Amino acid sequence: VPATTDATCSKGRTAKNAACCKWFDVLDDIQVNLFDGGECGEETHESLRLTFHDAIGFSLSALVEGKFGGGGADGSIMAFSEIETNFHANNGVDEIVEAQRPFAIKHGVSFGDFIQFAGAVGVSNCVGGPRLQFLAGRSNNSQVAPDLTVPEPSDSPNKIFLRMLDAGFTPNEVVALLASHSVAAQDHVDESIPGTPFDSTPGTFDTQFFAETMLKGTLFPGDGPNDGEVLSPLHGEFRLQSDAAIARHPLTSCEWQSFVTDHDTMIKKFTAAMAKLSTLGHIPALLTDCSEVIPTPKPPKVKKATLPAGKTNKDIEGACGATPFPTLATDPGPATSVAPVPPS
């Protein structure tokens, strides 16, 4: 029985704050009409990526120098899409920006709120996924973010770490955020093979990504090498240079490896880092907590990380000096070949 102070929303749902009710209607709409009935597919992946590309337009060093460093998670990537989606690192995000925009306008919510909401709802559709916090109330006024705030896969780990520190994230928090690459595929680093995922399970928010990135690279899945691409261990799988290098960097290799066998901690740290990312440029206490609108993800029990068929622990390039790489079971069958994420 809901507390009597709760507001009653559509379809008998309740919210602590009446201002959250409209988000249930946005939820119903986007699950059917943006996410194809609640899938963890291409639109979900793109929506999660967009939360980052909007929010990371934020620079503390620019602000302390008295310059405008971007408004963070302010929707500027949608309000000024004709400028920001032309930034090199934003290649391809124009599609999801255009797909999302009509929903934000139709429901009368700010672009900044909508982008973070869609990312949180989307990733809740992924088996094993997190239930992210969602705070509402970002203003719809924004300014163009400066260029070069979004990391590139060809950037060195040090360059990425410094950029992310300038937005308030430690290197270990970058590792946590990269759990997102467990439900991800590339379209534009190698345009000859769109939909090529970063792990063998792009529909599941599991720890496979952290295991598979440690396998020795042996092949290019398409016409590589491309800028920002390094050798991948599996046919049909793509490896970003930045993921490979952060996985092996002395500052982050042990954090990376620790997620291979610890889904719960990975989810906890990803959720905490996403709470920071989604409120960059805002004072969280001034926003309204509408997290109760975000669905609870499907059964969180995902299978333990395994090595894809054909691989053994000998193929792992252990990089954490302090701790040996965990011994993982190998999937049975012929060598794994990963299928592309279908376009929708």
Binding residues vs Ca ion (CB under 5 A): 182, 199, 201, 204, 206, 208
Between 13 and 122, name the residue whose CB sits nearer to ligand HEM. Answer: 122
| Cβ–Cβ < 8 Å for 79, 142 | yes
Between 15 and 175, name the residue whose CB sits nearer to ligand HEM. Answer: 175
Between 52 and 256, name the residue whose CB sits nearer to ligand HEM. Answer: 52
239 binds, among ligand HEM, Mn ion, Ca ion, none (CB under 5 to 8 A by kind): none
156 marked as binding residue: no
Exactly one of 43, 74, 113, 187 binds Mn ion (CB under 5 A); which one?
A: 187
Question: What is the spatial distance between Cα 20 and Cα 14, in angstroms, rounded to a whole number?
Answer: 9
Catalytic residue among 53, 249, 263, 282: 53
| Cα dihedral 307/311/317/319 (nearest 10) | 10
Per DSSP, which regions of 179-334 are E strands? 185-186, 196-197, 229-230, 239-240, 288-289
Between 22 and 239, name the residue whose CB sits nearer to Mn ion. Answer: 239
282 marked as binding residue: no
308 binds, among Mn ion, ligand HEM, Ca ion, none (CB under 5 to 8 A by kind): none
199 marked as binding residue: yes
Q: Which residues contact 87 (CB under 8 A, 6 or more apart)?
A: 147, 148, 150
181 marked as binding residue: yes
263 marked as binding residue: no
201 marked as binding residue: yes
249 marked as binding residue: no
Name the maximum alpha-carbon separation found in the chain.
61
Q: Which two tokens stand for residue 337?
A: 């070949």
For residue 193, the minimal CB distance to ligand HEM (Å) is 10
| Cβ–Cβ < 8 Å for 193, 238 | yes
Between 149 and 258, name the residue whose CB sits nearer to ligand HEM. Answer: 149
Part of the chain binding Mn ion (CB under 5 A), chosen from 65-73, 102-110, 179-187, 312-320? 179-187
204: helix, strand or coil: strand
Residue 45 a catalytic site member: no
Q: Which amino acid is at 217?
A: G
For residue 271, the minimal CB distance to Mn ion (Å) is 23
Query: How buried is residue 324: exposed, middle or buried, by Cβ count under 10 Å (0-12/13-18/19+)?
Result: exposed
Residues binding ligand HEM (CB under 6 A): 42, 45-46, 48-49, 51-52, 92, 151-153, 160, 174, 177-178, 180-181, 183-189, 228, 240, 242
Part of the chain binding Mn ion (CB under 5 A), chosen from 72-80, 184-192, 196-204, 246-254? 184-192
Query: 274-285 in b/e burial notation, b at 16+ Cβ within 10 A?
Result: bebbbbbbbeee
For residue 75, the minimal CB distance to ligand HEM (Å) is 16
For residue 180, the minimal CB distance to Ca ion (Å) is 10
Part of the chain binding Mn ion (CB under 5 A), chosen from 137-145, 186-194, 213-221, 238-246? 186-194
Q: Which amino acid is at 93?
A: V
For residue 237, the minimal CB distance to ligand HEM (Å) is 13
| Cα dihedral 87/93/98/103 (nearest 10) | -120
Between 24 and 238, name the residue whose CB sits nearer to Ca ion. Answer: 238
Counting other chains too, the contacts that 117-120 makes at CB distance below 8 Å and 24 or more residues apart are: 117/23, 117/26, 117/293, 118/30, 118/34, 118/47, 118/50, 118/51, 119/47, 119/48, 119/50, 119/51, 119/278, 120/51, 120/274, 120/278, 120/294
For residue 51, the minimal CB distance to ligand HEM (Å) is 6
Which residues are known binding-site members?
54, 72, 74, 76, 181-182, 199, 201, 206
Q: Which residues are catalytic?
A: 53
Which residues are known binding-site members for heme b?
181
